[in-house]
């Protein structure tokens, strides 16, 4: 199953909003087939694993390790449960049940009804961690929310005059670009958009660029910003109606009388965006933290000293991981 989880990870960045799924087929202690879900809309892990088996006559004596319950529905592909039944495999072992209401237990029930032995929950925690975006999206009906910022050793995010100044080192910045290829969307507030004029793409890493999301409640941002260069999709959340539609961004008006962030998150969910990385600024990050709207905070602590400036948001969370990245420390927090 560890091997199946490793294979699943090869789909990272290519399968969203589907989960990453890996599959290993074992015949008498020997791996005879492997596969993973490689591409959104493409064959599922089980199909690729079965296809990789040279001698299909071994399947009735084989165990299938798959990281997610085999599907039971006709989606972009026919049901994997039906395939495993047709190939008369002996046993199926899975990490996690599929929370997708189209499947949700029906795949396992189908297998059992066909007389296939089924075991669940093997390395379940790793499976949930791997597909935490997918599970959060379906179970909590909202995108997985990652907060990210860099701070100086003395706890500042920017100089007092807010002029753009690099805090973290080059390796950290490259890592952030890699992260951008791993999430569906990247969000910044109005002040960050205005002061930093960020491109919000993944130019320091190869992979797909995320959708850019910016908050501009009162439509004050100038159209000359990189965000509006048309190079990637940009969603603008506002409370004002926008009369002339503009080909370079999609404007989404929210109700000014209702709390803004919950509305924004609900709309992002409706747009089928499974994960969002929030990159600032301080006030926006603090709003997410204070409203309990976060799943992970990734904080770069640099050795630089500023002495004064914009204070870092206060985080009440559990330090889950600490890692050295160049001269910086990367600290990952999770909610308590
Ligand atoms: C599996 N094996 O490798 C994956 C599964 O639109 P479709 O047909 O690709 O179906 C997508 C849904 O299928 C997805 O939401 C999840 O419930 C399940 N994903 N199932 O048996 C796989 N990727
Ligand atoms: Zn399937």
Q: Residue ranges per domain, the chain?
A: 1-134, 141-334
Counting ligands in written order, the one closest to the CA of 95 is 1
| Portion of the chain with pLDDT greater than 70, in percent | 99
| Separation of CA 237 and ligand 1 centre (Å) | 31
Token reading at 30: 């020997």
Nearest to 237 by CA among 211, 259, 218, 210: 218
What ligand 1 atom has the least distance to the C-alpha of 103? 17
Q: How confident is the model at residue 103 (pLDDT cuts 50, 70, 90)?
A: confident
What's the helix, strand, coil split of the chain in %, to 5? 30, 25, 45
Integer Cα distance of 82 and 319 in angstroms? 44
Mean residue pLDDT across the chain: 94
Integer Cα distance of 251 and 21 in angstroms? 35
The reported pLDDT for the residue numbered 244 is: 67
CA dist list (Å): 62 to 26, 37, 55, 56, 149: 5, 20, 11, 10, 48
Query: Within 13 Å and on the Cβ side, how many CA atoms surround 107?
Result: 29
Q: How confident is the model at residue 204 (pLDDT cuts 50, 70, 90)?
A: confident
Cβ of 71 less than 6 Å from ligand 1: yes
Homologous superfamily of domain range 141-334: Dihydrofolate Reductase, subunit A (3.40.430.10)
Q: Give 140-170 pLDDT, tens digit per residue.
A: 999 999 999 999 999 999 998 888 889 999 9
Q: How confident is the model at residue 320 (pLDDT cuts 50, 70, 90)?
A: very high
Protein residue whose Cα sits closest to atom 11 of ligand 1 = 18
| Separation of CA 76 and ligand 2 centre (Å) | 9
Protein residue whose Cα sits closest to atom 15 of ligand 1 = 18
DSSP letter at 224 equals T
- CATH code for the part of the protein at 1-134: 3.40.140.10
Which DSSP string corresponds to 129-189? HHTHHHHHHHHHSS-EEEEEEEE-TTSEEE-TT------S-HHHHHHHHHHHHHSSEEEE-
Cβ of 89 less than 6 Å from ligand 1: no
Query: Do the beta carbons of residue 66 and residue 92 sit within 8 Å?
Result: yes
Cβ of 98 less than 6 Å from ligand 1: yes
The reported pLDDT for the residue numbered 245 is: 65
What's the predicted TM-score (pTM) here?
0.89
Q: Give 260-292 pLDDT, tens digit per residue.
A: 999 999 999 999 999 999 998 899 999 999 999
The DSSP element (H or E) to which 300 belongs, if any, is strand 296-301
Chain centroid to CA 99 = 16
């Amino acid at each position: 199953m560890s091997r199946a989880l490793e294979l699943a990870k090869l789909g990272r960045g290519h399968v969203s909003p589907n989960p990453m799924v890996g599959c290993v087929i074992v015949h008498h202690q020997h791996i005879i087939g492997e596969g993973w879900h490689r591409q959104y809309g493409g064959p599922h892990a089980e199909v690729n694993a079965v296809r990789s088996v040279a001698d299909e006559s071994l399947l009735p004596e084989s165990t299938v390790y798959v990281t997610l319950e085999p599907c039971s529905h006709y989606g972009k592909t026919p049901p994997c449960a039906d395939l495993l039944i047709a190939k008369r495999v002996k046993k199926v072992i899975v990490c996690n049940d599929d929370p997708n209401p189209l499947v949700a237990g029906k795949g396992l029930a189908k297998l059992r009804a066909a007389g296939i032995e089924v075991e669940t929950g093997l390395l379940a925690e790793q499976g949930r961690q791997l597909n935490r975006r997918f599970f959060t999206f379906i179970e909590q009906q909202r995108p997985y929310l990652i907060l990210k910022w860099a701070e100086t050793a003395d706890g500042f995010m920017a100089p007092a005059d807010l002029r753009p100044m690099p805090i973290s080192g080059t390796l950290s910045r490259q890592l952030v670009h890699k992260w951008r290829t791993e999430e569906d969307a990247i969000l910044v507030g109005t002040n960050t958009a205005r002061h930093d004029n960020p491109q919000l793409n993944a130019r320091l890493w190869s992979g797909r660029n995320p959708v850019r999301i910016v908050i501009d409640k009162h439509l004050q941002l100038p159209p000359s910003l990189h965000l509006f260069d048309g190079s990637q999709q940009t969603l603008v959340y506002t409370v004002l109606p926008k009369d002339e539609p503009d080909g370079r961004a999609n404007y989404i008006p929210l109700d000014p009388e209702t709390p803004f962030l919950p509305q924004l998150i609900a709309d992002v969910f409706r747009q089928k965006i499974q994960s969002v990385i929030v990159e600032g600024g301080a006030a926006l990050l603090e709003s997410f933290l204070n409203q309990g709207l976060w799943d992970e905070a990734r904080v770069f602590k640099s050795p630089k000293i500023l002495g004064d400036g914009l204070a870092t948001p206060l985080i009440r969370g559990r330090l889950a991981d600490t890692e050295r990245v160049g001269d910086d420390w990367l600290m990952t927090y999770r909610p308590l």
